[in-house]
Structure 1
Amino acid sequence: MWFSKTQKEVLEELNVNPAVGLTSKEAETRLERYGPNKLKGKPKKSLVSLFFAQLNDMLIYVLLSAAAITMIIGEFVDAIIILLVVILNALIGVVQEYKAEKAIEALQKMTTPKSLVRRDGEIKEISSEQIVPGDIVIIDAGRFIPADLRLIESVNLQIEESALTGESVPTDKDANALYKDPKTPIGDQSNMAFMSTLATYGRGEGVVVGTAMNTEIGKIAKILDEDTEQMTPLQKRLEELGKTLGFIAIGICILIFAISLFQKRDLFEMFLTAISLAVAAIPEGLAAIVAIVLALGVTKMSKINAIVKKLPAVETLGAVNIICSDKTGTLTQNKMTVVKYYTFNNLKEVSSTETSIVASKDETELIKTLVLCSDATYENGEGTGDPTEIALIGFGNKYNLIKGELNSKNKRVAENPFDSDRKLMSTLNEEGNGYRVHTKGAIDNILKISSHALINGKIVPLTEEVRFAYLKAAEEMSNNALRVLGAAFKDTDKILAPGEMEKDLTVIGIVGMIDPPRFEVKDSIREAKRAGITPVMITGDHQNTAVAIAKELEIAESIEQSITGSEIDEMSDEEFAEKINNYKVFARVSPEHKVKIVKAFKSQGNIVSMTGDGVNDAPSLKNADIGVAMGITGTDVSKGASDMILTDDNFTTIVHAIEEGRNIYNNIKKFVIFLLSCNLGEVLTVFASILFFWPVPLLPTQILWINLITDSLPAIALGIDPGDKDVMKKKPRNPKESFFAQGAGIRAIIGGTLIGLLTLAAFYFGLSEYGYTLGSTHIPEDVLTYARTMSFVVLAGSQLFYSLSIRHSTKSILQIGLLSNMYLIGAIIVGFILQFGVISIPVLAKAFNVHNLSLGDWGLVMVFALIPLIVNEIIKSFMRLKENEE
């Protein structure tokens, strides 16, 4: 713990004289021992390995087995079609994931190219990769810190650490500070400077105590490097479905052979029949359709400013019930802003929208002093310098007290720079025929050096009563988590030395500032809560500040719902996981804490989304079910570790993305139930014919055609069905919920049974037209072909019509709008055209063993095809009646 050791102890342990630094020879020796100051990462996955990773799925194994068997029995066309489906599915996955793992690469880019060090008694500029433990690094404003340092000198040094700690304001550094508590948070270690943070003010020196992977940034890199890939809820459901279908296919084959032996049928013929049943049981197009629908979902979400990097993440969004959000830049504007100011007995709030505000004399003097006593710039919405000073200049702009104009009228002639011990800054500016001292800083320090106060335009003696009023106003602002600054002035007729400026001042007032919430976030949080989603704030900022923002945004109600990183460390993982749901605000946390929080929520069965923009957010983004990075303010590291990027940095977009994710999952569920209903109908048709010793009504080629073409088009159309308007009025679904929950399984069985029975009925009518029955022997081949054609058309037609009824589990097709999904209407029309083409075009008719039908039989098969749709609509009407009664 370098922060708990004195400068002398650190220098002795690292064996270096700060006045001379390391010798070049010693630096070379240490470079060989410790290696270059460069972050390491896992080797990139090749395109080939990415491709084969897509094949590691039970459903794919089943399809590959089916392809192998069909090839063995000489059905090469079927085998090629199945293999094309598998390859298409894998290619879609590779394209989406190729650019996903960029976190370590981005971290490497963040290392500083050049740094100032003292070696051989001289200051040299070297590549940051050559820095070693023991090097003395020179720090000045504007330079990135090249490694983790224990400061040995600091003069008004401030370092911006928001990417690492989440704090909005640069941290004051003090080389002489000492911290004995080993659990001191990174944000409180004022005697340390960390790799890839930025010095914004002052100067300093530090001795390198950690390089490369041994830095705080390196710790984050190690976490990102861990293999934390987990299956999404959709992937788990599909894997379970694949296993189930695989076992069903094997079971059917075994059962067929058992029946065949009992019935003394031809075993080779039954082997072919078993294959056709296995083909019927497996929806060959399912994997490809899921990938296509998710890809279309990705495109749709990009239009609402959400870039999804991994296909399954689209669906996972729909199950999210916890949004863990970083505070700075995500919930807040990442811009310090003056929100209140106080002159004696006059407390006012600053309008967030109003400009050109007229101020009283006391208010004008307060603002004027704060603006003139600042070194930052702020023009056209862009600022440079200390964020606090930028806020003060922005404050002045609202009251037409523009810094440039004030500087030209009141030229600065001397100054006493800010000092962390004094906590004050003073400037001496021309004022009329004389000069005026302008001082800003901690109000208690200002009151100590003031003898008068400005009240109602008059300078009066500073009494205890007036002093108490200022302190009380400051305390109230602090209690609301505002950062408080006081202002004072003094007129003089001569140029004063810095040491003479801060005496006998006239106190004017105070201002309170904060990084305010984003305007639109509050409504989004309310919408999320209505949808059963719990918003949670995780930040490296102070507890009071975090809770104040959380209260304003209605994330938390009291400080009891918050916990700090040091308090988390006192709990075991089990105890923390048990209490995790009691907390809505996590303050003063490190990157390791963020990961621990995400894991604790996940251990309670939650689906967790984590939002963030800093380097410190990257590990938790990677560990969350859905990591969401900010596209504008986000670092490359956070974007690389995330699953989704918000191009507008808007929390509201997350809620919209969740809504889209819910609808996409519902659509996937629709077409899975649709495909399984269709396949159940096929299995029932073939299995019943074998069980009762009837001729088989469908050939393997016909089943494959229906599965890959006729079924797939409506399935894709169902996958892009317009969203349910009421989807965000419901609670998030249980991630363990089956595809068949909420009656979906029963609907699939009813629909499949109807389709199967009607297909058999059509086969029966086709035979009866020529005087044969299902039990007849020696049926002529042309009669069998005609009857199979009728069952083929009924099977395809009933499935096409049935897709209309699948669009909603309870609403009728008229309630949701018959023409509200024109893609589905188009799919049904195209499906019938293709089906008619297969029967009518001689070449295709011969390939599929079908025959053209008479006009009367076309009418009969259309009536049969409509029955499953009509029955399902009747069932839904009874379900609606039951819902209304409840």
Structure 2
Amino acid sequence: MIPQEELRRFGTDGLSSETVLESRKQYGTNELTPPRRIPIWKQYLEKYQDPIIRILLVAVVLSAIVAVLEGESLLDTIGIALAVILATTIAFLTEFKSNREFDALHAMRDDTAVKVIRNGSPSSIPMRDVVVGDIVLLEAGDMVPADGYLLDASETEVDESAFTGESEPIRKVVSDTLLKGSYITGGRATMITAAVGDQTKMGEIASSLIEGSRPETPLQIKLRNLAEIISRFGYLMAGLIISVVLIQDFIIGTPPQTPLEIAGVILHACMFAVVIIVVSVPEGLPVSVTVSLALTMRKMTRAKSLVRRLIACETVGSVTVICTDKTGTLTMNKMEVAASSIEVPSLSSELPQDPSEWITLNAAVNSTAELEPSRDRLLTVGNSTEAALLRWLHRSGISYSDIRKAWPVISQDYFTSKKKRMSTIVAYGSRRYILMKGAPEIIASYCSPPPDLSMIHTLAGRAMRTLAFAHAELAPEESEPAVMQWDGYVGIRDEVRPDVREAVKTCNDAGITVKMVTGDSPETATAIARETGILSDGIVMTGPVFRGLSDEERLHIVPDLEVLARSEPHDKLLLVQALQARGEVVAVTGDGTNDAPALRNADVGLAMGIAGTEVAREASDIILLDDSFPTIERAIWWGRALFENIQRFLIFQLTINISASILTFISPLLGFPPPFTIMQLLWINIIMDSLAALALCSEAPHPALMTKKPIPKNASVITPYMKRAILLTAGLYILAGVGCMAIGFPFLEKPEQQASVFFSGFVIAQVWNGINCRGINGIMPPVFRGNPVFYGIMGCIVLVQILIVQYGSDIFDTVPLTPLQWMGIIIGTMPVLLIWPFLRYIHTKSENV
């Protein structure tokens, strides 16, 4: 920041148009350069780092080699390649679109109007146009647009919680510094700009953020482990096939004699193995995961959660601990009168006659705050506590502005932290009255007889800021009476959001621990934490004590720590690191600039969309558009639904892959022709699976998702229920397939008809199994309602299958079937639906053991 002495050359009368251009050229613009982001081409290529995608890329190469060596069509290779490109492109474009929406949030902030002196007169300019040397006029409610020094300060108070974490405003005097992103909460000020854009304190912190430095997510870990299992299965199948072929040709049959014949046998075995590997790999899985993430991202955005990283949709569903702010997240971020010594405010047109009327007059006149109408709400201009009193009057139908006109102010003695009171002298005809409000113990010391403060102590224990009121008539020439008359009190606080307690309970029922991290006092934090259900029998600790602990002590204490009060942003980072060291998946909320390290290092960073700074939002994974804790709970719900949808698809596709690969493997060994052609496998393994992915990932969340504990980070994506479902269903398909190949279908004479019925029966059976896959872990959604997308897509699969068989004989090696034969296939495969009740029975029995 430029020193004050150097700024003197700009003067205090404001810049001219020419000087503005010179300053902008020399010191830059008032816009933050986005953190060093990975180039777009690199972001796209990173999507190919997914383990399943890597396996598919190998399959593409192997499939191409086989096709070239056998002189076959490259359609299979092209199909796998298209699946890879589709999955990676959807993921990239979805994140790109989300980041465009995120940038729009910044643009709105940069367009905020700022009052400056230009060319000798006040004018309003966008925040982005402020330059070094600009004289900025600030008043209560304004955000400081750049770093600078105060030239004039009149009862100026500033909220610098974005940098300090301290919720109480700081009194500023002439020559003090103001920081970009802080807020004027009281008084007026004139500032000369000393740093803009990247040169500000906020810019320095923002420049240290590098996109991409985040921990591996639970889903990425699970899919990597799954990819290893699939790879081992593929290699095992390939090894078995090569071994069997070599045994058949070299030991059982007539051994090849020449080197060329030996090479031909080995090449044939290897190509057969490659076909099985291609069949084994779930090509539709990346598409399923990506489409599920993209759909969930859109639904979460509609639910007030703007997702910036696609994978964060699932990560938020794996959260085990939420470290949440208090103000604005658990509370309404708006001070309101919550209790008072009078029933309702009231005021007659005459001199007040009772405490209710004196308190009403005091609240309206003894104040510097204003309420500014804006659409359907009243905006606070000035002190938030005084504004709460004005809204209290407004709710009772009393106009504070009318009272101020009727009671002209003679003088005011403003509130200071030292005096803890404010007084205003008003005129009523020829008489003068003094109205005083402030800390109850201070006001009580001026009153006689002394009031009973027991109820006030009760309100303070409920996290309320208490204000007392008193008045007295002044004798001529008197500025302060010897004794005042006590009128009463009010309790003011930032009310807890009405749905927070239920949201916290839902999180607790779901096995998620909620911890409060706030800059407020331990007393206030404890009261709010108890009211919201966050604090039960855990520990309340202050930031200085917490940061003074050793790393091992923090590791030991964080499970029991429920409230961290008087905390600084760095304390939040220490808490996140300690929890992660214990294996927790941590979500963190933050709105301040100094919250960026904690947001960046958390498994899921949740920034405030309304109160959050640019830096906090840039460091986040998800932006809460309404700054509300219940929105976090809904995001977790959607995240868990996403993971369950991915599991549904895994049951569906792995059942197909295992049964298809084993049938393809054993049919030649049993002397049968291959059950599927390459084009049929292309339809079954890529296109149909991709359509099924769309169907199964459209399943809506159900209430039971929030009644079980989070899935551990290192747990397998394949649950015991899924293993039973996959192995049982695939086993029945294999037995039925072998039986059909051995016995054949009745009333079918030609082998082409047998092959077409076998192909169609396998596909239709998978459609029936898709209904089974909707029910996972023993829970089945309404079978024939609740998800029209699923039945629409499955109906399309059946329709396309009929068209393939009836009209695609040249491509798919099929022959047309009669309507009666189609009816037989549909009815004959319907018993697949009986598998789910059996799985449900086994699952319930295993849970009760």
* Offset at residue 101 of structure 1 (A): 5.6
* Offset at residue 64 of structure 1 (A): 1.9
Could you say what secondary structure the match of 2:711 adopts? coil
Q: Which amino acid aligns with 2:234?
A: A
Could you say what secondary structure the match of 1:581 adopts? coil
Q: Which amino acid aligns with 2:492?
A: M
Say if 2:141 and 2:381, in contact at 8 Å, map to a contact too: no
**Deviation digits for residues 354-376 of structure 1, max 9, x if unmatched?**
88799981232133223211021
- % identical equivalent positions: 28
Say if 2:543 and 2:568, in contact at 8 Å, map to a contact too: yes
**Deviation digits for residues 626-656 of structure 1, max 9, x if unmatched?**
3334444444544444333344444323323
* Offset at residue 673 of structure 1 (A): 1.4
For residues 726-737 of structure 1, the aligned pairs below 5 Å read 726-737=704-715
Match of 1:742 in 2: 720
Could you say what secondary structure the match of 2:559 adopts? helix
Match of 2:318 in 1: 319
* Offset at residue 589 of structure 1 (A): 2.2
Match of 2:216 in 1: 231
Q: Which amino acid aligns with 1:583?
A: L
Matches of 2:35 and 2:584, distance apart in 1? 29
Question: CA distance change for structure 1 residues 569 and 206 in 2, over 3 Å: closer, same or farther?
Answer: farther
1:831 is matched with which residue: 761, 772, 797? 797
For residues 161-310 of structure 1, the aligned pairs below 5 Å read 161-165=160-164, 170-173=169-172, 193-202=178-187, 217-218=202-203, 220-222=205-207, 224-225=209-210, 227-264=212-249, 266-310=265-309
* Offset at residue 21 of structure 1 (A): 11
Match of 1:678 in 2: 656
For residues 99-110 of structure 1, the aligned pairs below 5 Å read none
1:599 aligns with 2:589: no
2:45 is matched with which residue: 24, 39, 52? 52
Match of 1:405 in 2: 402
Matches of 2:115 and 2:820, distance apart in 1? 88
Match of 1:70 in 2: 63
Matches of 1:625 and 1:142, distance apart in 2? 34
Say if 1:40 and 1:104, in contact at 8 Å, map to a contact too: no
For residues 508-587 of structure 1, the aligned pairs below 5 Å read 508-557=487-536, 561-587=539-565
Question: CA distance change for structure 1 residues 541 and 812 in 2, over 3 Å: closer, same or farther?
Answer: closer
1:667 aligns with 2:664: no
Q: Which amino acid aligns with 1:306?
A: S
* Offset at residue 17 of structure 1 (A): 10
Say if 2:131 and 2:196, in contact at 8 Å, map to a contact too: no
Say if 1:711 and 1:800, in contact at 8 Å, map to a contact too: no
1:482 is matched with which residue: 460, 464, 467? 464
**Deviation digits for residues 661-715 of structure 1, max 9, x if unmatched?**
2222212101111100110001110121344554322222211211123333333
Question: CA distance change for structure 1 residues 148 and 864 in 2, over 3 Å: closer, same or farther?
Answer: same
Question: CA distance change for structure 1 residues 882 and 592 in 2, over 3 Å: closer, same or farther?
Answer: closer
Question: CA distance change for structure 1 residues 837 and 638 in 2, over 3 Å: closer, same or farther?
Answer: same
TM-score under structure 2 length normalisation: 0.83
2:438 is matched with which residue: 437, 441, 445? 441
* Offset at residue 128 of structure 1 (A): 9.5
Say if 1:751 and 1:872, in contact at 8 Å, map to a contact too: no
Matches of 1:15 and 1:410, distance apart in 2? 43
Match of 1:776 in 2: none
Matches of 1:301 and 1:422, distance apart in 2? 49
1:85 aligns with 2:51: no
Q: Which amino acid aligns with 1:582?
A: D
Q: Which amino acid aligns with 1:576?
A: R
Say if 1:631 and 1:639, in contact at 8 Å, map to a contact too: yes
Say if 1:112 and 1:145, in contact at 8 Å, map to a contact too: no
Matches of 1:234 and 1:33, distance apart in 2? 48
* Offset at residue 830 of structure 1 (A): 2.7
**Deviation digits for residues 797-832 of structure 1, max 9, x if unmatched?**
22222222222246587x843445443333443323
**Deviation digits for residues 212-264 of structure 1, max 9, x if unmatched?**
77865346425543643233222222232233323433443343223222222
* Offset at residue 570 of structure 1 (A): 0.3
Say if 1:564 and 1:586, in contact at 8 Å, map to a contact too: yes
1:756 is matched with which residue: 734, 739, 763? 734
528-537 vs 853-862, which moves further: 853-862
* Offset at residue 579 of structure 1 (A): 1.4
**Deviation digits for residues 836-869 of structure 1, max 9, x if unmatched?**
222221xx21212223457886577556634544
1:492 is matched with which residue: 474, 483, 487? 474
1:96 aligns with 2:94: yes
Matches of 1:200 and 1:554, distance apart in 2? 31
**Deviation digits for residues 730-787 of structure 1, max 9, x if unmatched?**
222223221222331132122112212322322223499999xxxxxxxxxx84x554
Question: CA distance change for structure 1 residues 106 and 597 in 2, over 3 Å: closer, same or farther?
Answer: farther
* Offset at residue 15 of structure 1 (A): 10
1:851 aligns with 2:831: no
RMSD: 4.3
* Structure 2 gap ranges (5+): 16-22, 118-124, 250-263
For residues 419-430 of structure 1, the aligned pairs below 5 Å read 419-430=416-427
Question: CA distance change for structure 1 residues 730 and 522 in 2, over 3 Å: closer, same or farther?
Answer: same
Q: Which amino acid aligns with 2:549?
A: M
**Deviation digits for residues 598-635 of structure 1, max 9, x if unmatched?**
23223322222233444444443333333334444444
15-24 vs 718-727, which moves further: 15-24
Say if 1:367 and 1:396, in contact at 8 Å, map to a contact too: yes
Say if 2:324 and 2:588, in contact at 8 Å, map to a contact too: yes
Could you say what secondary structure the match of 2:491 adopts? strand
Say if 1:41 and 1:225, in contact at 8 Å, map to a contact too: no
666-675 vs 56-65, which moves further: 56-65
Say if 1:522 and 1:554, in contact at 8 Å, map to a contact too: yes
1:870 aligns with 2:848: no
146-155 vs 254-263, which moves further: 146-155
* Offset at residue 56 of structure 1 (A): 1.5
Q: Which amino acid aligns with 1:374?
A: S
Match of 1:431 in 2: 428
Q: Which amino acid aligns with 2:40?
A: L
* Offset at residue 595 of structure 1 (A): 2.5
Match of 1:183 in 2: none
Q: Which amino acid aligns with 2:503?
A: S
Could you say what secondary structure the match of 2:226 adopts? helix
**Deviation digits for residues 117-160 of structure 1, max 9, x if unmatched?**
9xxxxxxx99998759xx99998767655666798996633112
Say if 1:96 and 1:309, in contact at 8 Å, map to a contact too: no
* Offset at residue 211 of structure 1 (A): 8.2
Matches of 2:506 and 2:844, distance apart in 1? 27
* Offset at residue 114 of structure 1 (A): 8.3
Match of 2:415 in 1: 418
Q: Which amino acid aligns with 1:482?
A: M
Matches of 1:361 and 1:113, distance apart in 2? 45
1:334 aligns with 2:336: no
Matches of 1:861 and 1:870, distance apart in 2? 16
Matches of 1:586 and 1:411, distance apart in 2? 46
Matches of 1:791 and 1:478, distance apart in 2? 77
1:652 is matched with which residue: 621, 630, 638? 630
871-880 vs 206-215, which moves further: 206-215
* Offset at residue 563 of structure 1 (A): 1.9
Q: Which amino acid aligns with 1:491?
A: E
Could you say what secondary structure the match of 2:564 adopts? strand
* Offset at residue 18 of structure 1 (A): 11
Matches of 1:303 and 1:514, distance apart in 2? 31
* Offset at residue 419 of structure 1 (A): 4.0
Could you say what secondary structure the match of 2:716 adopts? coil
Could you say what secondary structure the match of 1:652 adopts? helix
1:794 aligns with 2:792: no
Matches of 2:763 and 2:278, distance apart in 1? 16
Could you say what secondary structure the match of 1:806 adopts? helix
